Amino acid sequence: MTTEDDIKDEKPLDPAAERLRIKLVRLLVVSMGFLFLSIMTVFGVIIYRTSGAEEVPAYDGTPLSIALPDGSEVVQTVLDGDRMLLTVRVGAETRLVLVSVETGEVLRSFTLANAPSAGTR
1-51 pLDDT, tens digit per residue, is 566 766 677 777 788 989 999 999 999 999 999 999 999 999 999 998 888
In whole angstroms, how far apart are CA 94 and each of 10, 120, 121? 91, 23, 24
Distance from C-alpha of 75 to C-alpha of 79, rounded to nearest angstrom: 14
Contact 98, 82 (CB under 8 A): no
Which pLDDT score is estimated for 80? Answer: 87
Q: What is the pLDDT of residues 71-115, one digit of tens each?
A: 889 999 999 888 999 999 988 889 999 998 888 888 998 888 776
> What is the C-alpha radius of gyration for the chain, rounded to an integer number of angstroms?
35
Distance from C-alpha of 75 to C-alpha of 87, rounded to nearest angstrom: 5
Which pLDDT score is estimated for 2? Answer: 61
DSSP string, 20-66: HHHHHHHHHHHHHHHHHHHHHHHHHHHHHHHHSPPPPPPP-SPPP--
| The length of the chain, given as a count of residues | 121
Residue 53 has pLDDT above 80, yes or no: no
